[in-house]
Structure 1
C-alpha cells in the first residue's frame, strides 16, 4: 500500500484534469447551464454565452476529457450533458486523503 503522502500525490495528479477544466469561467458557465438545462447542443449554448461556437466546442472538449461532460448524438446533432458523479467521487477521495493527513 502506498504511503499516505504518495497516495495524496497520486490523487492530486488524478484531479489535475478536473481542476484544470473547472478553472476557467467559460467552462464554469457551461457546467452551470448544463446543470440547469440537463442537455444542450453547441448552438443552444452559443445563444446563452458570449462565445463563438468554436470556442464553446473547445471548452466542451476539455470538459469531456475531464469526465465532467458526455455527449449524446441524435441525428446530426450532439447534445452535451453533465456527468458529475465521477468528479464528485474523485473530489471526495481527495478531501478524505487530506483529512487523513491533517
Structure 2
C-alpha cells in the first residue's frame, strides 16, 4: 500500500512534519515550495522533490502551481479514510465470531 511506503521513511516523515508546522497547513492558503522545504531540512532539492512525489502518490500531499513554482500542502482526507477502513476491516477480522 503506497500509504505505508510513504510513511515508512524517516525523511518523508520529516517533510510531513515541516509541512505540518507551517501556518499554511492550518490556513490551507499557500503551502511550501521545494526551496522552502529544503531550507528547513538537510536534504537537496532533488531529494525533496523525489520524496514529495512519493508523498503525493500516497495522497498525503497535494500541490498547487503559482507561476513557475509548485506549493505543497498536506492532504490527509483520503488517506485517513483508507486507514479507517483498514482499521475496521482488521477489527472485524480479529473479533471472535459470535
Shorter chain as denominator, the TM-score bin is 0.7 to 0.9
**How far does residue 33 in structure 1 lie from its aligned partner after superposition?**
1.2
Work out whether 1:53 is the aligned partner of 2:45.
Answer: yes
TM-score by length of 2: 0.86
| RMSD over equivalenced CA pairs, Å | 0.7
1:31 is aligned to 16
Structure number with greater CO (CA < 8 Å, separation at least 6) is: 1
Aligned mates of 1:31, 1:20 — CA distance in 2: 14
Q: Which structure dedicates a bigger proportion of its chain to helix?
A: 1
Unmatched runs of 5 consecutive residues or more in structure 1: 1-15
Unmatched runs of 5 consecutive residues or more in structure 2: 26-30
**How far does residue 34 in structure 1 lie from its aligned partner after superposition?**
1.1
1:19 is aligned to 4
Q: Kindly tell me the number of residue pairs found equivalent between the two proteins.
A: 87
TM-score by length of 1: 0.83
Aligned mates of 1:32, 1:83 — CA distance in 2: 13
User: Structure 1 stretches (4+) deviating beyond 6 angstroms?
Assistant: none
